[in-house]
Amino acid sequence: MHKIDIELVEMTMDIMKYTIDRISSTKHKIGKPKTAEELKKLVGETVTEKGVGGEHALKLWKKHLMKANVPIDHPRNLAFVPAAPTRAAVMFDLVVSASSIHGAYWMEGAGGIFCENEAMKWIVSLTGLPKGAFGVFTSGGTAANLSAIVTAREYWRSLDDDNKTRKGLIITSIGAHSSVKSMAKVVDADVLFVDTEDKMYADALQSKIDALTIDDRKRLFAVVATGGTTNAGIIDDLSGIGSICENEHLWFHVDAAYGGGALAADSVRHLFNGIEKADSITIDPHKWMFSPYDCGAVIYRKPELAKKAHAQEGSYLDIFKDEGAHGFNPTDYQIQLTRRVRGLPLWFSLAMHGTDKYKEAVERGLELAQIAGKLIEEKPFVELVRAPSLSCVLYRRIGWSPEDYTHWTYENHGKGFALVTPTKWKTGDSFETVSRFCFINPDTTEEDIDMILDSMK
Ligand SMILES: Cc1ncc(COP(=O)(O)O)c(C=O)c1O
């Protein structure tokens, strides 16, 4: 397995050919979903005592397995938060794999970590956080949110011994991403919700805090605001919320996993004012900074607090912390020990293209949302649920039931035409099923949007 022979060399060529074709493709298809049973029938037994051979396995991948995936970078994949990694970043992801770098400690990964840090400096500069603020790349927004919450909780515990036995409490809004609730579960904290899926304003947060019992107020250690909600692209009142957190001595975390890329866009940067008051921020380069999966980031106003919370101890790790191994150790600032230098594809793409190209590509996503808004207003059978926000557009097909949306999604997916999924929007006490676009990919065209809308006729 670890020897080089002619078979391996040929396999390398085949794999390179496959990746070159894929990277340079402009016509990849939206795959058709299949059940595990159907896939098994198509490919048979692949993991056997003697192996089926690389050539055969690659053939199965190309012929059957790849076709059952939806490429996240398809221009008509507008579901969830899609992605559109740059070709430069995808290519360099291959280099990351081929280079076998351990990205936990400087001692082993100095060259890779240096590059990650160069990319990180740019991201941190977008936030306006003061000097000293810094971050690390994580496996995604969920891991970044968890790393930030653990840091906040450990800091709160360090302030008062009684906090060590208290169950923590976090306030966020119902517009916050599901990972905030899940990660609160991981740290065994309770979550209290400001009852809005729309923008969370400072006064609503203050009322929530003021209504707490004395005991619950003691349990409260953090507020999570969102810089671009997943469902609708809404940015909370970051400035007002930041000021409350400062006055109330609460950790202020901004989850900008999706919206963070828009910090690079001059046209909407002002909407994020107040983000510079944050104690920690989540931004996912694998969403709107055009990195391949997986690449999230967590940034701290005071990284030393994260280090206190996350640095792992073990006699086998001592050498990495020795003077002789001096350098920045990404593992100390988030939950993971062994890590891929997953910020490296972003670094290469930034170095190749420059940050202006990133601004342009993000602006295009914002523009596509406005274009979609206009098209929706022009067509009599659809209407906007709310004005487009960042690159999210919520709209309804007049007269449709929830089942109609589901059926339409399956039909378009099954045809390999588009992936646009329904969501729910809360007005008052009721939830309405609506359709949602999220634009990330600058290759999406007005014609794509028009065709998708017309398929609802
Ligand atoms: C606002 C927000 N936070 C967190 C996440 C979770 O990020 P990930 O899927 O990278 O773990 C998402 C994902 O869509 C998100 O939109």
Mean pLDDT of 384-406: 97
Give the strands of the sheet with 169-173, arranged side by side.
Answer: 134-138, 296-300, 280-283, 251-255, 220-226, 169-173, 190-194
What are the tokens at 10?
């040929």
Q: Does 324 have pLDDT greater than 80?
A: no
Q: What is the pLDDT of residue 427?
A: 80
271-297 residue pLDDT tens: 999 999 999 999 999 999 999 999 999
Question: What does the mean pLDDT of the chain come to?
Answer: 96
More confident: 402 or 33: 402
Q: Are 287 and 259 in contact (CB under 8 A)?
A: no
pLDDT at 16 over 80: yes
Indicate whether 212 pLDDT > 90. Answer: yes
Q: Helices 141-159 and 178-186 sit at what angle, rounded to 10 degrees?
A: 50
- What separation in Å is there between the alpha carbon of 60 and the centre of ligand 1? 32
What are the φ and ψ backbone dihedral angles of 148, each rounded to 5 degrees?
A: -70, -45
CA of 286 to the centre of ligand 1 (A): 10
pLDDT at 26: 84
- Distance between alpha carbon 263 and the CA centroid of its chain, in Å? 14
Closest ligand 1 atom, residue 227 Cα: 1
Does the pLDDT at position 331 exceed 80? Answer: yes
Question: What does the pLDDT average to over 413-431?
Answer: 91
Length of the chain as a residue count: 457
Alpha helices per DSSP H over 128-274:
141-159, 178-186, 202-210, 214-219, 238-248
User: What was the pLDDT predicted at 272?
Assistant: 98
Q: Over 80: is that where the pLDDT of 325 sits?
A: no
* pLDDT value for 322: 76
User: Does ligand 1 lie within 6 Å of residue 259's CB atom?
Assistant: no
Residues above pLDDT 70, as percent of the chain: 100
On the question of pLDDT at 230 being above 80, the answer is: yes
Q: In the structure, how many helices (H) and strands (E) does the chain have?
A: 16, 11
Ligand 1 lined by 284 (C-beta under 6 Å) = yes
User: Looking at the predicted structure, is the pLDDT value of residue 326 above 90?
Assistant: no
Tell how far CA 286 is from the center of its chain: 6
Query: Alpha-carbon distance 166 to 219, whole Å?
Result: 6
Distance (Å) of CA 95 to CA 3, 339, 353, 399, 449: 20, 15, 18, 51, 35
CA of 325 to the centre of ligand 1 (A): 34
- Ligand 1 within 6 A of CB of 254: no
Residue 323 has pLDDT above 80, yes or no: no
pLDDT in tens, 68-119: 999 999 999 999 999 999 999 999 999 999 999 999 999 999 999 999 999 9
E-assigned strands of 188-279? 190-194, 220-226, 251-255
Using a CB cutoff of 8 Å and minimum separation of 24, what contacts does 62-68 make? 62/18, 64/39, 65/39, 66/31, 67/29, 67/31, 67/32, 68/31, 68/32, 68/33, 68/34, 68/39
State how far the Cα of 85 lies from the Cα of 351, in Å rounded to an integer: 15
Ligand 1 pocket, 236 CB below 6 A?
no
Look at the block and give the residue holding tokens 């003697």: 50
Which atom of ligand 1 sits closest to the CA of residue 80? 14
Phi, psi of 421 (to 5 degrees): -110, 155
Is the CB–ligand 1 distance for residue 291 below 6 Å?
no
The label of the residue with tokens 């890590």 reads: 339
pLDDT tens per residue across span 120-137? 999 999 999 999 999 999
- Identify the residue whose C-alpha is closest to ligand 1 atom 6: 141
Confirm or reject: Cβ of 140 under 6 Å from ligand 1.
Answer: yes
pLDDT of 374 over the 80 cut: yes
Confidence band for 228, pLDDT divided at 50, 70 and 90: very high
Pocket lining: 82 vs ligand 1, CB cutoff 6 Å: no
What is the C-alpha separation between 280 and 333, in angstroms, rounded?
11
* Predicted TM-score of the model (pTM): 0.97
- pLDDT computed for residue 166 by the predictor: 96
Q: Is the CB of 141 under 6 A from ligand 1?
A: yes
Percent of the chain with pLDDT over 90: 93
Q: Is the CB of 342 under 6 A from ligand 1?
A: no
Give 313-345 as a 3 state SS string: CCHHHHHHHCHHHCCCCHHHHCCCCCCCCCCHH
Residues 59, 46: contact at Cβ < 8 Å?
no
At 13, the amino acid letter reads M
Span 133-148, mean pLDDT? 98
Q: How far apart are CA 385 and CA 422, in angstroms?
A: 13
Task: Tell me, in angstroms, the distance from the centre of ligand 1 to residue 257's CA.
Answer: 5
Q: Span 31-58, mean pLDDT?
A: 95
Q: Indicate if the pLDDT at residue 315 is higher than 80.
A: yes
